[in-house]
Amino acid sequence: MFFQSLICEPVFIFPILSFIFNIHLNNSLLILIIIFQTFSIFSLQLGKVSPPNFQIGFVSSLISHFFLKESISFSLLFGIFISIIFGYLYILKRKINYYLSNNFKIEFALIFSVLISYFSYISVLLLQYMILKKFKVADSSNFYSLSLFLVLSQVKYFRFGKKVETLLFLVGILIGVICLKLISNSF
Amino acid sequence: MFKVNFKQFLKSLAVQVLLNEQDMQLQGYNILTNKKFKHNINTNPYFSSVMSGFISKVKDIRRVEIFASITAFVGDDLFWNNLKPIVLISSLLVYIFKLNFYFLLIPFLTYFLSTNLLRLFGYEYGRKNVDNMNNFYSSFFFKRFRFFLPKIRYLLYGFFVILLLYVNLKILNSIYFYGIILLLIIWVNFVYKEFAYIFLIILGFLVELFFWIL
């Protein structure tokens, strides 16, 4: 439940983590945030019931990049893999929920369900930590650039229904082009 | 009344927690209605307390089912399809333009308050408006929101796409390489459709390997 809430979205959890652990936003972290946040947005567009995998994928990437000092390419890759694993873990949790609610008192099923979520997510994160310690991947800006393109390829899920929507999308692009002047010094 | 509303608010969280593939939201509604309602319905979890208020007054299961499907459609469309992407993209813009993190409070509170206040006062609303529920979908509130939210969403999509392209160009520093990748991505998406996602991850690995060999 907690992992599904809005506060766990990369854009909202980062300020909290940066405040607690004194993490400063740099371009590498910005790329991580953009990639995982965009995946999360488009998983909503696909009609999924907001699975929490990309939120945890982002936190895993942040841990590996900031705390374990891994390269951004490796952290990104690992975050994406963890997201995929958590997708299946979420499906498994829904199956366990059915077993719990039919075999235990509903109040206990509720508590067990929350506990199982927490422990399964934390144990996978610990497993990730153990794996991370054994592997090293060289850093490359080309890789995370490709990841940004991968995010961009999700545009097809926008589902343009009416002409006015396409028109508004193009107006958005136009405003974006105008605003580029504002960020031209940021990168 | 606030105490009752708050109790229902806490119970309504169970609808999302106990979601499962076979029963869907049945177990959650068991808790929400103190085991008085034992039918399988599908709703949006944000509307679960509205549904519980409605269920407490209406005994006709067909009416409950119809209203449940309306709340499922309105909730999914309003919150997950429109409001959440708007909130998240506008928050990302705060990062891209390197604004103060305090600006994130605006989109966060917009979504947080609208969903949780609906959960908090939904029970009372559901009980009071049992007879007006036929007009629920076309009511002023949802009609207004459904009119302008998708428009903001598409505007933000366009804005966001151009920013992503720009950020990417800055990273790559090579207009030719950038053009080739962009064309490749568009081609892959047209050819592989839903499998483009997997194909592009493999492609990323291959390109990375290529650069590593070089």
For the cut 80, the answer to whether the pLDDT of residue A36 exceeds it is: yes
Determine the 3-state secondary structure of A135 from DSSP.
Answer: coil
Asked if residue A171 is part of any domain, the answer here is no
Among A14-18, A126-130, B34-38, B199-203, the range scoring the smallest mean pLDDT is B199-203
Write phi, then psi, for B99 (nearest 5 degrees).
Answer: -85, 170
Asked if residue A172 is part of any domain, the answer here is no
Print the domain residue range for A152: 6-161
For the cut 90, the answer to whether the pLDDT of residue B106 exceeds it is: yes
For residue B44, give the amino acid letter: N
How many other C-beta atoms lie within 10 A of the C-beta of residue B75?
A: 22
* Gap between the Cα atoms of B185 and B203, Å rounded: 10
Determine, for residues B212 and A173 on separate chains, whether the beta-carbon distance falls below 8 Å.
Answer: no
Determine the average pLDDT of the residues in B37-43: 80
Determine, for residues A12 and B204 on separate chains, whether the beta-carbon distance falls below 8 Å.
Answer: no
What residues in A contact B14, CB-CB < 8 Å?
A: 110
Of the residues B91, B169, B178, the best mutation for testing chain A's interface (the one with the most A CB atoms within 10 Å of its CB) is: B91
Q: Is B210 exposed, middle or buried (0-12, 13-18, 19+ CB in 10 A)?
A: exposed
* Gap between the Cα atoms of B214 and B205, Å rounded: 14
Q: Is residue A71 a contact partner of residue A187, using CB atoms and an 8 Å limit?
A: no
CB pairs under 8 A between A and B: 213
* Gap between the Cα atoms of B214 and B211, Å rounded: 5
What residues in B contact A150, CB-CB < 8 Å?
A: 185, 197, 200-201, 204
| pLDDT given at position B79 | 85
Among A21-25, A66-70, B19-23, the range scoring the smallest mean pLDDT is B19-23
Per-residue pLDDT tens for A60-74? 888 888 887 877 777
Q: Whose CA is closest to B37, among B20, B54, B19?
A: B54
Determine, for residues A177 and B95 on separate chains, whether the beta-carbon distance falls below 8 Å.
Answer: no
A186: confidence class by pLDDT, cuts 50, 70, 90: low
User: How crowded is the C-beta side of B212, counted as CA atoms within 13 Å?
Assistant: 11
Asked if residue A147 is part of any domain, the answer here is yes
Q: Which stretch, A91-95, B143-147, B169-173, has highest mean pLDDT? A: A91-95
Helices A27-45/B140-172 angle, 10° precision: 140
Domain count, chain A: 1
**Residue of chain B whose Cα is closest to the Cα of A142:** B172
Distance, in angstroms, between A130 CA and closest chain B CA? 23
The one-character DSSP state at B24 is B
Alpha helices, DSSP H, located in A7-105: 10-21, 27-45, 53-62, 72-103
Asked if residue A104 is part of any domain, the answer here is yes
Determine, for residues B158 and A140 on separate chains, whether the beta-carbon distance falls below 8 Å.
Answer: no
B127: confidence class by pLDDT, cuts 50, 70, 90: confident
**Percent of the residues in chain B that have a pLDDT greater than 70, as a whole number:** 74
* Gap between the Cα atoms of B51 and B34, Å rounded: 13
* Gap between the Cα atoms of A12 and A16, Å rounded: 7
Within its chain, how far is the Cα of A123 from the centroid?
Answer: 18
| pLDDT given at position A2 | 46
What residues in A contact B30, CB-CB < 8 Å?
A: 106
Residues ≥6 apart with Cβ < 8 Å to B28: B12, B14, B15, B16, B17, B18, B19, B45, B48
For residue B143, give the amino acid letter: K
Q: Which stretch, A56-65, A87-96, A128-137, B141-150, has highest mean pLDDT? A: A56-65
Write phi, then psi, for A160 (nearest 5 degrees).
Answer: -75, 115
Residue with tokens 């800055």: B170
Residues ≥6 apart with Cβ < 8 Å to A29: A14, A23, A62, A65, A66
- State the Cα torsion A157-A159-A163-A164 to the nearest 10°: -80
